[in-house]
Amino acid sequence: MSFLNIAQSRYATKKYDSSKKIDDETIDKLKEILRLSPSSVNSQPWRFTFIANEDIKSRLSEFSFNNKNKVLDASHIVVFSVVKDVKTFENIKLTQLPDHTTAYYNRVLKPGGDEHVMTWLIAQVYLSLGFFLSAAASLGIDSTPMEGIDTNGYDSILQDDDYKTLFAVTIGYRDKEDKNQPSLTPKFRMDKDDVIRSI
Ligand SMILES: Cc1cc2nc3c(=O)[nH]c(=O)nc-3n(C[C@H](O)[C@H](O)[C@H](O)COP(=O)(O)O)c2cc1C
């Protein structure tokens, strides 16, 4: 499928077929694709937690507001996390990067202060989301990005000391009745003239 076809056909899945599970080989591909996500100065300030365990999914579903049934019915949930603070980034990520990256970070980013650096780190994780949604669709996997979750509740379950949850993505196979699929509800996007400018 061409990338344009993927853009036209992927959609935020609202209802999953709970009887269908993604095979391990495909999950391994998705893990490797996330590991290969691009980021500014190759900072990679993220962690991606894949969950298939039904007990953990059920506990996470209680912190998932309107997304509860997606978490319960999807094959897997992937939680996207960022390093919990700037100090942690500097200690566990920056130390793995080349000297010229550290020099750039200290000269350009750090003087902006912790809030500025955290905003920049979080932006990198969102970039991996776009990469992931497209990659999943290219493998025939349906998905739902979800900011509508209680991230503190997720953290209380995931217990990952150095990272905090930003958002999650359910992945699996659509229920064939899912009304949000483009064949039943055409995609809404703003006009090309509104969003694209050619000068
Ligand atoms: C960062 C982000 C967070 C989102 N959070 C939710 C969510 O919590 N629940 C949900 O059903 N859809 C969520 N969506 C899906 C969007 O509403 C959807 O992508 C948008 O309406 C465009 O529709 P499409 O993805 O079907 O083309 C989210 C999308 C993004 C990119």
5 pLDDT band (50/70/90 cuts)?
very high
Ligand 1 in reach of 12 Cβ (< 6 A): yes
Would you mind telling me the total number of residues written for the chain in this entry? 199
Would you state the CATH architecture of domain 3-195? 3-Layer(aba) Sandwich (3.40)
| pLDDT tens digits, one per residue of 110-143 | 999 999 999 999 999 999 999 999 999 999 999 9
Distance CA 109, CA 104 (A): 7
Residue with tokens 């493998």: 139
Ligand 1 in reach of 163 Cβ (< 6 A): no
Residues contacting residue 69 through CB under 8 Å, at least 6 positions apart: 15, 61
DSSP structure string for 55-122:
HHHHHHHTT-GGGHHHHHHSSEEEEEEEESSHHHIIIIIGGGS-HHHHHHIIIIIGGG-HHHHHHHHH
**Best residue for ligand 1 mutational test, from 15, 122, 144 (most atoms within 8 Å of Cβ):** 144
Ligand 1 in reach of 146 Cβ (< 6 A): yes
77 pLDDT band (50/70/90 cuts)?
very high
Q: Is 134 within 8 Å of 6 (Cβ atoms)?
A: yes
Ligand 1 in reach of 187 Cβ (< 6 A): yes
List the domain boundaries for the chain. Answer: 3-195
Distance CA 81, CA 118 (A): 12
Stretch 28-43: mean pLDDT = 98
Distance CA 178, CA 51 (A): 23
Distance CA 66, CA 58 (A): 14
Q: Is 137 within 8 Å of 10 (Cβ atoms)?
A: yes
- The pLDDT assigned to 41 comes to 95
pLDDT at residue 1 tops 90 = no
Distance CA 78, CA 81 (A): 10
68 pLDDT band (50/70/90 cuts)?
very high
- Going from the Cα of 144 to the center of ligand 1, the distance in angstroms, rounded, reads 7
The tokens describing 110, both together, are 């750090």
- The pLDDT assigned to 169 comes to 99
Q: Is 134 within 8 Å of 10 (Cβ atoms)?
A: yes
